[in-house]
Amino acid sequence: MSSLPPSNSLPFLSLGVCDYPEHVPQPLWAGYARDQKALGLEFVRLAEFAWSRMEPRPGEYDWAWLDEAVETSAAAGLKVVLCTPTAAPPAWLVEAHPEILPVGRDGQVKSFGSRRHYDFSSAVYREHSRRITRAVAERYGRHPAVVGWQTDNEFGWGDTAQSFSPAAHAAFHAWLERRYGTVDALNDAWGNVFWSMDYSGWAQVPLPHHAVSEINPAHALDFLRFSSGEVAAFQAEQVALLREHSPGRFVTHNYMGFFSAYDHYEVSRGLDFASWDSYPTGTLQAIHEWKLLAPHFALDYARTGHPDITAFNHDLYRGMVTPGAGQATPGFWVMEQQCGQVNWAPANPLPAPGAVALWTEQAWAHGADAVSYFRWRAATVGQEVLHSGLLRHSGRPDQGHREVAALRPQALPLAPTRARVALLHDYESLWLYNLQPHSEGLNYWAQTFTYYRALRALGVDVDILHPDRDLSGYAVVVAPALTLMTPERAAHLTASAGHSRLVFGPRTAFRTAAGGTPETGQFGDLAGLIGAELSRYDSLYAGMTQDVEGEGGARHSAHAWAESYDLAGAEALWHYRGGPLDGEAAVIRHGAVTTVGAHSESLVRSVLRGVLREAGVETAELPEGVRLTRRGPHTLLQNWTDESVHWQGRTLTPYSSALLPQEVMA
């Protein structure tokens, strides 16, 4: 990794913009660059999808336009973030090598005409990716205005993280042979005795997309692991070339919110920090997909997005890159920040007045060191003409431009984020859970977000971490859906219970690394720590509920999922009332470990409130739509609603935020 600080060189939040000079007439470039600097922007991202202009014909490079674009930005005092252009291979490359195109789940070859039309497993494409990456890095890697690189763009967009091509099939077979050594070992690991699925040769193993019905989850899990490794290897090749030819510059990648198709921790190895593309009104669609919150929430937050949905992704990507020994934890960048309406959701309302400023300040409070707006001028050609920019199609400033002009980034100093609560998340648990959700409207993200939202509603800052990370600095560790368990992970969590209070959610440790269920049943290697084993689980239709009762007669209503436990040292804190689980344990505690078996938003908040109090973590009962976030000594109070809110003697106007004095909520 680079020895440079993984951020901008300013002591406060840096603002930037994604620009596409190749989309507009050249006489506009210099004026636009001056305007960007005058707006308070410090950097510009360039050349993201520009391969066909860099190399219009095979081996024939045209750098003149990009030379001028870089020099024009530099002359205006802007720093430049360049991109490797590999997310959009040119038509001549597809014509010469159609085998680079990915194959979809339906077996159809995806055609040229959009973006991300390549197969990670294609050796031919990997060669051309290295070639163009080397060429652009050699050309601009040591330019004084170039401060960093973005690799490719949004890996996996358009359902392209897995390819079902002949190249992927052959590479998957090779991966399986390296992993298992023999076909018999694979048969044993996958449980292929089930439904007579034993193989006698590697070539017999199909790709998991055309079976009659659901595929063996162990098979699907390994294909996801393989595919994730292909993305990681592709990224690593680019990172190595950028390190070689552009020393001293940062390297990052722009991820997407709640994207599940590969292991982002694996793909992030070697990056200086992670970035993500924040579109709060579009990502609000998660509420519909999860069927988690009441329908009115989508309308209530239609013009801002839900604060916790955006915040979750900020916290996720802040914790994506593990620092090296002796290094500070890096921050993160928002590489694309929505600054007006988007064009890709089922409906695309205009953001509320003040939303762009609110999003920017929230990103800073969650640890962003830079926020880059998408885009400078709204596109007048191509697929995104209905997407906004800081400038309208005519070149006149839009609402987002006015809000950015009013920002004072100097009032948003960079400082470490220090949370006392960690929330554990990993992609293998996600894959296993979502391969067999067994519940209507409940998946890994919905369950995990329920716990995250409860913590944020209690005014608690959260670090989202891989479960195998060092947890020694946390008072409370929350693992909402840690489905996959290994002996090593169980030992790590058991050690963590010596210094932290742990909270587990339903389906904890339900699967082994091979994808099966422990022979001893849930909780397998974690049974001693939890002090119980699974009794039964109840998957509920939408509209079905299960009452849960605690001491003093307090009641909550569970939905979607309810599991009960046979105690082996733990004590029951809550019991089910009525229904087939009547009288059985719903929430249990064993020493410093609490396990919640019922899916209930109000129950989860109640349990977490008690655990946080016992751990000495201060909480605050926040009104709906109001959030607190701390960065260093600073506290940002935010109102995401369309009404004024009065809280602790303060009044927040609609869609606004306020920096509180240091002594408040410290």
Helices (H), 181-304: 183-190, 217-245, 264-268, 280-283, 285-290, 296-300
Is 154 a catalytic site residue? yes
For 92, the enclosing helix (H) or strand (E) is: helix 91-96
The answer to whether 551 is a known catalytic residue is: no
Prior bond of 523 cis (ω within 30°): yes
Nearest Cα neighbor of 665 from 634, 624, 626 is: 634
Q: CA torsion angle for 461, 464, 468, 471 (degrees, to 10)?
A: -10
Instruction: Looking at 141-214, list the stretches that DSSP marks H as alpha helix, in order from N- to C-terminal side.
Output: 166-180, 183-190
Q: For residues 600 and 547, is the Cβ–Cβ distance under 8 A? A: no
Angstrom CA distances, 619 to 25, 594, 659, stand at: 54, 19, 18
Query: Could you tell me which residues are beta bridge partners of residue 439?
Result: none
Closest residue by Cα to residue 268 from 257, 253, 250: 253
Q: How far apart are CA 319 and CA 455, in angstroms?
A: 17
One-letter identity of residue 218? A
Partners of residue 501 on adjacent β-strands: 476
> Rounded to whole angstroms, how far apart are CA atoms 339 and 474?
35
Q: Which of 230, 336, 361, 428 is catalytic?
A: 336
d(C-alpha 576, C-alpha 289), whole Å? 28
List the end-to-end C-alpha distance of the chain, in Å, as a whole number.
34
Of 55, 154, 230, 403, the active-site residue reads 154
Cα 511 to Cα 507: distance, rounded to the nearest angstrom = 8
Q: Kindly list the distances between the CA atom of residue 625 and the CA atoms of 130, 292, 304, 314, 448, in Å, as whole numbers in the listed order.
A: 46, 16, 10, 17, 19
Three-class SS state of 182: coil
The answer to whether 341 touches 349, Cβ cutoff 8 Å, is yes
DSSP letter assigned to residue 578: S
Of 542, 539, 573, the closest CA to residue 556 belongs to 573
Long-range contacts of 168-172 (CB under 8 A, 24+ apart): 168/103, 168/119, 168/120, 168/121, 168/207, 168/227, 168/230, 169/207, 170/121, 171/121, 171/226, 171/230, 172/205, 172/207, 172/223, 172/226
Closest CA to 555 of 587, 532, 533: 587
Of 505, 420, 422, 421, the C-alpha closest to 464 is 422
Residue 261 sits at φ, ψ, to 5 deg, of -80, -5
Active site residues: 154, 336
